[in-house]
Chain A
Amino acid sequence: MLLEINNLQVNYFSARGKTPAVCGASLAIKKGEVLGLVGESACGKSTLALSIANLISPHEGKIAEGEIIFNNRNLIGLPEKELRALRGREISYIFQDPSSALNPVYTIGEQITEVLLGHENISKESAKEKAIQALKSAQLADAERVFSCYPHQLSGGMKQRSMIAMATILKPKLLIADEPTTALDVTVQAKIIELLIKLKNELGLSILFITHDLNLVSTIASRIAVMEKGKIIRYETKGLSKPAAAEKRKTETQSKENVLEAKNLKKYFAVETGFFRREKGIVKAVDGVDISLKYGQTLGIVGETGSGKTTLAKLLAGLYTPTEGKIYYEGNKKIIRKDFQMVFQHPFDSLNPRMKIEDILKEGLLIHKIAEPSNIKQRLCDLLDMVQMPKDSLDRFPHEFSGGQRQRIAIARAISVEPKVIICDEPVSSLDVSIQGKILQLLLELQERLNLSYVFISHDILIVKAISTTIAVMYQGKIIEQGEASQIFEHPAQEYTKELMSAARY
């Protein structure tokens, strides 16, 4: 047993006194094993990870109880000097966001050689050679150049590889990876996982792999610990499948009218500088898109960050005016506001933090004069019912609800004005995996019940497939492939689509 954590208790200091973050958690990792650690946000997994090498700042929190036995030594109570000898050399970390985890004012090379020089008595030249070697092992092609680069000059994937090189250069026994791929693009994620597996095999590393994504971690971990409210509650050995549990209506592919259609849609943004606003460059966010949505169906749009999908969503919702091209709303050029609504990505941002739920839901009704003042209250209760939220939600504020609950409220707001189309921009991407399925289920039920049509945008092709009738794949402002959902999924035509598929299937 390489690492054994017994009954760990960690408290954070806050304005209200002590808040327990980890309450009696226990786990064990063998030599050469990869243990996954999953849980919802704020369940304590990062705190658990940081406390292993005691990286919790004494201002912020304290390890109150328990044992952390690493290589038969209890790390708790070990003097700082000895802990420092362990850090970087026997126990290493890689973190979620390589942009903020690397010091912006020093080069990659300086930051890597510093680890070597700090633990071993070697010359600077020797350290440089070893560092470049480590960068090569991390599959960085141009290792010499990366060595002299500053972090901001590299892409996300390259930065993460540099961090991995830095963390493994002294051949540690345990690597703690806290959400190492969450901030990266889907296609890059898979490659980083490959790299970690390769290093594990080469160095006999044990890895503690922390993530909120159960599917991701099953590709690398043999066992998965599930954490909830500060405790490890169980172990899994197989990943859950994605919300395929959501039932879809049978697609009726007979010709139906288009409720929404876009022809040669373009949206360019000018980068302006100077007093006279001279154009310096043009960003072609959406560059000639043709799509259509039939009544009662769901058009799924899948693409990575920067593909232009959010701009497309805003164009369709009428928040942007197109630079070129036309959008037809039920055949008309002009949008009828209440018929085309939108659900946004961030449940923590799409509700006005200073408004009560009652006022948030009332707003649409008031603007479009949909309900009589006498039966507004009833209307609101009905809306909350439809999204499975309790009636007493009306009197509360957004911050009192969880992400999933807020998203339900946002959906209630969207349907309050009895729309025909709802444009959903990554509505479940910010939610935990366990909640995603429920929200998708809700959307499907509402679609059936209220005769809605959806445009559903996401970077996650599995989610898109679970809910869409037709799929369009977006890349750099253009739709590179579109068609029936099952068709695209089973027989992707374009290279890029295939890449998205394989990254998703893990």
Chain B
Amino acid sequence: MAGMVPLLIGITIISFAIIHLSPGGPVELATSMDQRVTAQARQKLMHIYGLDKPLHIQYADWLLRLVRFDFGNSFLDGRKVLDKIVERLPITLLINILSLFLILIIAIPIGITSAIKANSFYDKFMTVFVFMGFAMPSFWLALLLMSFFGIQLHILPILGIKSLFFDELSLAGKILDVARHLILPVFVSCFVSLAAMSRYIKTNMMDVLHKDYIRTARAKGLSETKVIYKHALKNALLPVVTILGLSIPGLIGGSIITETVFSIPGMGRLAFEAVMARDYPVIMAELIISALLTLIGNLIADIAYSWADPRVRIGKRNV
């Protein structure tokens, strides 16, 4: 736990450094788009933002504000960064949680059955499918699906999360509308990670199936079902707990491409817009929040694993 402190410091330093990397500093870039801004005005802006103070002072000020969750105001529209983020959060969470859920319920059975039937036709087929998943660029998949379902077949909407006439719908209608809009984005979000996850589960399961205690279980005369579902499964799925923890950061920041292609107003899209517009306060905020979430996610993953694995939970040699 104490090891997290240097990590936090490191994260903040690097984030800070990134912003000040660009030649001329943040103000320069924010205002270079706008020709009307004179050199004098630039100086003034720099003073207002405190950018003419020495670097370590800027860092300290910035850090203090961070601790109070004050991420400053967006260069783009002047609103508080925190507000913009909070606004976009729910959509991203919704898509990613749905996606994670689907991934788990699809990948786990696929991984396990592939391991049990290793080298069969089924397994070979699944392997090919997995490799396709790894190689598929998500934006291309998105475009293909949009083209096919959205335009050719015209059965699914392709942009945004609600239709124009949303407000006139009943509650049920509203839910259905959002659901329809989410089908493609969630699918795309899933597809690529599905490959990785089922691969991981398969590898784990195969490792476990080759362990000595599985041989012992068979030698005891247990049925194959018991051997697999009681003995092998529990061991193979232990790491899945870790994965859940590690997916936490992805819940917020993992969907830049998907959201941009489908024009979904979420955190990922916000990140993209901020980058395009060189909106530094927002970029910073997103970086820091993601990094923090990764730290927390890792911590939760560790804790969850220690709780699940009796070897860690109970500790060694109470003999």
Q: Do chains A and B make direct contact within the complex (CB under 8 angstroms)?
A: yes
- Which residues in A have some Cβ–Cβ distance to B below 8 Å? 50, 53, 55, 59, 84-89, 92-93, 95, 97, 100-106, 114-115, 118-119, 149-150, 152-155, 158, 163, 166, 274-275
Does B2 reach chain A (CB closer than 8 Å)? yes
Does B319 reach chain A (CB closer than 8 Å)? yes
CB closest chain-A residue, reference B216: A101
Q: A150-B310, A275-B6 are in contact. Are A114 and B213 (CB under 8 A)?
A: no
Contacts of B217 in A (CB 8 A): 103
A31 to B119, alpha carbons, bound, how many Å?
A: 42
- Pairwise interchain contact A166-B212, C-beta atoms closer than 8 A: no
- Pairwise interchain contact B215-A55, C-beta atoms closer than 8 A: yes
CB closest chain-B residue, reference A276: B2
21 A-B pairs with CB atoms under 8 Å apart are A55-B218, A55-B219, A84-B222, A84-B223, A87-B218, A88-B220, A92-B220, A93-B216, A95-B215, A100-B213, A101-B213, A103-B213, A103-B217, A105-B309, A115-B221, A118-B223, A150-B311, A152-B311, A153-B318, A166-B220, A274-B2
- Pairwise interchain contact B219-A88, C-beta atoms closer than 8 A: yes
CB closest chain-B residue, reference A84: B221
Q: Could you say which of B235, B309, B316, B317 contacts A103, with CB atoms under 8 Å apart? A: B235
Contacts of B316 in A (CB 8 A): 152-153
Q: Could you say which of B2, B3, B234, B319 contacts A154, with CB atoms under 8 Å apart? A: B319
A205 to chain B, nearest CB (A): 16
Q: A101-B212, A102-B213, A105-B234 are in contact. Are A155 and B319 (CB under 8 A)?
A: yes
A86 to B218, alpha carbons, bound, how many Å?
A: 11
Contacts of A86 in B (CB 8 A): 221
- Pairwise interchain contact B213-A104, C-beta atoms closer than 8 A: yes
- Pairwise interchain contact A114-B310, C-beta atoms closer than 8 A: no
- Pairwise interchain contact A150-B218, C-beta atoms closer than 8 A: no
Q: Could you say which of B118, B215, B221, B309 contacts A59, with CB atoms under 8 Å apart? A: B118
A53 to B234, alpha carbons, bound, how many Å?
A: 26
A104 to B216, alpha carbons, bound, how many Å?
A: 12
Does B141 reach chain A (CB closer than 8 Å)? no
A101 to B234, alpha carbons, bound, how many Å?
A: 16
A250 to B187, alpha carbons, bound, how many Å?
A: 83
Other A-B contacts than A50-B215, A118-B221, A152-B314, 14 sampled, CB-CB below 8 A, are A86-B221, A87-B221, A88-B219, A92-B219, A95-B215, A100-B213, A102-B216, A106-B234, A114-B220, A114-B222, A118-B223, A150-B314, A153-B318, A274-B3
A274 to B5, alpha carbons, bound, how many Å?
A: 12
A197 to B314, alpha carbons, bound, how many Å?
A: 34
Contacts of A100 in B (CB 8 A): 211-213
A63 to chain B, nearest CB (A): 15
CB closest chain-B residue, reference A80: B224
A85 to B222, alpha carbons, bound, how many Å?
A: 9
B237 to chain A, nearest CB (A): 10
Contacts of A166 in B (CB 8 A): 220
- Pairwise interchain contact B309-A85, C-beta atoms closer than 8 A: no
A89 to B238, alpha carbons, bound, how many Å?
A: 31
- Pairwise interchain contact B314-A153, C-beta atoms closer than 8 A: yes
- Which residues in B have some Cβ–Cβ distance to A below 8 Å? 2-3, 6, 118-119, 211-213, 215-223, 226, 231, 234-235, 238, 309-311, 314, 316-319
Q: Could you say which of A50, A101, A118 contacts B222, with CB atoms under 8 Å apart? A: A118
A477 to chain B, nearest CB (A): 19
Contacts of A87 in B (CB 8 A): 218-221
CB closest chain-B residue, reference A93: B219
CB closest chain-B residue, reference A50: B215
Contacts of A101 in B (CB 8 A): 212-213, 215-216
CB closest chain-B residue, reference A53: B219
A84 to B223, alpha carbons, bound, how many Å?
A: 7
Q: A153-B318, A154-B319 are in contact. Are A104 and B219 (CB under 8 A)?
A: no
- Pairwise interchain contact B221-A119, C-beta atoms closer than 8 A: yes
- Pairwise interchain contact A104-B310, C-beta atoms closer than 8 A: yes
A163 to B220, alpha carbons, bound, how many Å?
A: 11
A153 to B314, alpha carbons, bound, how many Å?
A: 8
Contacts of B211 in A (CB 8 A): 100
- Pairwise interchain contact B2-A275, C-beta atoms closer than 8 A: yes
- Pairwise interchain contact A105-B221, C-beta atoms closer than 8 A: no
Contacts of A85 in B (CB 8 A): 221
Contacts of B6 in A (CB 8 A): 275
CB closest chain-A residue, reference B213: A103
A92 to B220, alpha carbons, bound, how many Å?
A: 7
List 6 tightest A-B contacts by C-beta distance, closest first: A87-B221, A88-B221, A100-B212, A88-B220, A93-B219, A103-B213
Q: Could you say which of B118, B119, B319 contacts A153, with CB atoms under 8 Å apart? A: B319
Interface centre among A53, A85, A114, A154 (most CB of B within 10 A): A114
Contacts of A275 in B (CB 8 A): 2-3, 6
- Pairwise interchain contact A118-B226, C-beta atoms closer than 8 A: yes
A163 to B212, alpha carbons, bound, how many Å?
A: 13
CB closest chain-A residue, reference B2: A274
- Pairwise interchain contact A153-B219, C-beta atoms closer than 8 A: no
A274 to B222, alpha carbons, bound, how many Å?
A: 45
CB closest chain-A residue, reference B211: A100
A241 to chain B, nearest CB (A): 33
A150 to B118, alpha carbons, bound, how many Å?
A: 30
A50 to B316, alpha carbons, bound, how many Å?
A: 32
B299 to chain A, nearest CB (A): 16
- Pairwise interchain contact A95-B319, C-beta atoms closer than 8 A: no
A103 to B309, alpha carbons, bound, how many Å?
A: 12
A93 to chain B, nearest CB (A): 4
- Pairwise interchain contact A105-B3, C-beta atoms closer than 8 A: no
Contacts of B309 in A (CB 8 A): 104-105
Contacts of B119 in A (CB 8 A): 59
Contacts of A104 in B (CB 8 A): 213, 235, 309-311
CB closest chain-B residue, reference A83: B221
B77 to chain A, nearest CB (A): 42
Contacts of A97 in B (CB 8 A): 212
Q: A118-B222, A152-B311 are in contact. Are A158 and B212 (CB under 8 A)?
A: no
A130 to chain B, nearest CB (A): 15
Q: Could you say which of B221, B235, B317, B319 contacts A89, with CB atoms under 8 Å apart? A: B221
CB closest chain-A residue, reference B208: A103
- Pairwise interchain contact A95-B212, C-beta atoms closer than 8 A: yes
CB closest chain-B residue, reference A150: B310
Contacts of B213 in A (CB 8 A): 100-104
Q: A101-B213, A274-B2 are in contact. Are A153 and B218 (CB under 8 A)?
A: no
A94 to chain B, nearest CB (A): 9
A119 to chain B, nearest CB (A): 6
Contacts of B219 in A (CB 8 A): 53, 55, 87-88, 92-93
A328 to B244, alpha carbons, bound, how many Å?
A: 58
Contacts of A102 in B (CB 8 A): 213, 216
Contacts of B231 in A (CB 8 A): 103, 106
